[in-house]
Structures are given as structure tokens and as C-alpha cells.
Amino acid sequence: MPPDVTLESPNTHRLVSRIAPHWREALGLLVLGSLASLAVTMREWGEMFHQWWNIDTYSHILLIPFIIGWLVALKASELAQIAPKPWLPGLGVIAMGLVLWFVGRMTDTNLIAHAGAVGTLQGIVIASLGPRACTIIALPLCFGVFLVPFGDEIIEPLQVITAEIAIVLTHLSGIPAFSDGIYIDTPVGLFIVAEACSGVRFLIAMITLAVLVAYTRFTSWSRRLAFLAASIIIPIIANGIRAWGTIFIAQSQGVEFAAGFDHVFYGWFFFAFVVILILGLAWRYFERDPEDYGWSVDEVHGFEILKRLEPYHASPMKVLAGTLALCILAGGTAMIAAPVAIG
């Protein structure tokens, strides 16, 4: 008689058995809801991944899913002490995300559509796990905002600021020059603060890192805000100094040498140097280890507002049905409205 054949590996069975029953239900709901959301917003996620993979400004976003996973893993022991309860008002968050996605899709505004796709997924997490569990993982949940590629909107102002800093330092270094917007005319040639030189790539990555550090290493809001401010101001000033350095080197070594030096220095050393500088200045003021970030289970259990939200819990099937209905409605409406929007 042939042996029984099973499609479930012993290792998988052991892994699933280690998950508490209430968490199995919640995670199953989360997976099914996420798949429904991705089916509707697949185009936007494809566009975002294309930007993460192919555009240098957004390449740091490829690390964010791993950072989110790490932050959640740090809270695993505390999450195990909480019973996740699907939350009916979470459907409202999903609906708002889908409305934002729909508006972005219909108006062909990628930033809005991408934000809606990410917001919908965040809403599904809230609806699937409930407010208590989501309070424990508030940081990684909110950190998902940085999955949205943004920053093109500030390129032009950054170009102007960089040019202004560079021209001031050029005059202070004794080099005759005058500027017209992003153009800097010097004895050795005309320099242009192009989009690639605006510093937006570094600034966006630095803001992302700063938020992570601020909420994992500091407890006081004053230090968090000071660190965030420094993480914005210092890179902008440093980029202006870098632009001036290119002009200064061009005076003595030639334009070609300066351009090559700027490419290597900016691409390989500039980012690392400024990050080390900012973290080095803040190191002595760190107030806790990363694994201690956020609220503890005891603190969460003591929040009165969470107690008031208890009556709005619902069964997993009701939340799943509501999630599927919203996704089908949004996807169907977009399919019907798309020809009208195009025409």
C-alpha cells in the first residue's frame, strides 16, 4: 500500500502551529484583504516599483519593506501578548485610500494615486488587526508612507537654494562670478545647477532615515524635532557647499577635472559623510535602543481611547466582506469611468 501523500511540509505545519489561533485568523484576513487591494491597485504598485528600481532618487525605497519588517519583528513579543480584533471603522480608512487612489487614477496624478494605493494597504492592516495591535506597530505602519515616491515637487526650489549658497561661497572665496537663477557665470565657464545637482535624492533619503532614527532613538519631542530639522538643513547646506567646491576646483584644476571629481565625490562619499556627521552629532543625545521604540503593551492597555473603540470590533468575515466589496466597487468604478476620463 503506497504511503500517504501530503502537500503540507512538516516545517510549514510547525511554523503555523506556533502562531496563536487569533493571530492566524487576523493574518489570514490581512493576506486576503491585501491581495484584493493589490488586484485593484496593481498598476500603481508596478509604477512605484519601476521608480524604486530605475530612478536613483527613489532607490533607497527598496530598503523600506525590509525596515518595516525589522520594526515589526522588534515588536513580535509584545504583539504576542495582544489578541488582534478586526475593526469595522478600519473599512473607512480603506475607503479613503481607495477614493484617493481613484482620484489620482482619474486625474492621471501619480503622486495621489500612489499615496492612495499605499493608504489602502495601511487601512487593511488597521481593519484586520484592530487599534490595539496597530498602536503597538504604529511606527512601521506609518513608515509605509515613505513607499510613495515623492520629491520631484521640490527640485526647482532646491536648485535655486543650492545656486544661492554656491554663489555666496564663490564670492567669499575671491572668485568673481554672478548668478541668474540656477546659472552661475565664472571666469572658467558657465555652471548650471541641474536637477541632478539639486540634492533632492540625498534629501529625501535623509528625511526617511531621520524619521526612523528620531522615533527609535529619541523619546522627547524636542530632540526629535531638532534632529529632523538638522537632517533637512544640514544636507541642503552641504549640497550648496558641494556645488561651490566644484566651482572652486574648476578654477585651479579645470572644468573636466572638477566635473569628474564631483561625480565621484557626490556619488560615493558625500552621502556617507553627511550621514556620519549628523548621526555623530546626535549620538550622545540618543535616549533609548531601537528595540524599545513605541508604546509597551501595558501602556497600550491603559489608553482610554482604545477602550472606547472596543465596541466597534467585528468578525473577520464581516471585515473581509467589507474589504472585498470596497475593492470591487473601486475597481469597477475605475473601469467604467476610465474611458470617460480619457475622452
Q: Worst-scoring range by mean pLDDT, 38-42, 75-79, 242-246, 335-339?
A: 335-339
In this prediction the pTM is 0.87
Contact 136, 294 (CB under 8 A): yes
Read off the pLDDT of residues 270-300 as tens digits, 9 standing for 90 and up.
778 889 999 999 999 999 999 999 998 888 8
Q: Please report which confidence band the pLDDT of residue 343 belongs to, taking 50, 70 and 90 as the band edges.
A: very low
Which alpha helices (H) appear in the chain, and where do they start and end?
10-17, 21-54, 64-74, 76-79, 90-107, 110-136, 138-143, 155-172, 200-217, 221-253, 255-264, 271-282, 297-301, 304-308, 316-342
Q: Is 95 left (phi over 0), alpha (psi -120 to 50) or beta?
A: alpha
3-class DSSP state of 231: helix
Q: How far apart are CA 171 and CA 247, in angstroms?
A: 11
Q: Which is higher by pLDDT, 299 or 251? A: 299
Q: How far apart are CA 207 and CA 142, in angstroms?
A: 14
| Res. 342: pLDDT tops 60 | no
Give the model's pLDDT for residue 341.
Answer: 44
Read off the pLDDT of residues 191-220 as tens digits, 9 standing for 90 and up.
888 877 788 888 999 999 999 999 999 999
Q: How far apart are CA 328 and CA 35, in angstroms?
A: 12
Q: Please report which confidence band the pLDDT of residue 185 belongs to, taking 50, 70 and 90 as the band edges.
A: confident
Q: How far apart are CA 102 and CA 239, in angstroms?
A: 37
Place of cell 564631483: 262
294 — phi, psi (to 5°)?
75, -165
Give the model's pLDDT for residue 23.
Answer: 87
Q: Give the whole-number percent of the chain exceeding pLDDT 70.
A: 88
| Res. 10: pLDDT tops 60 | no
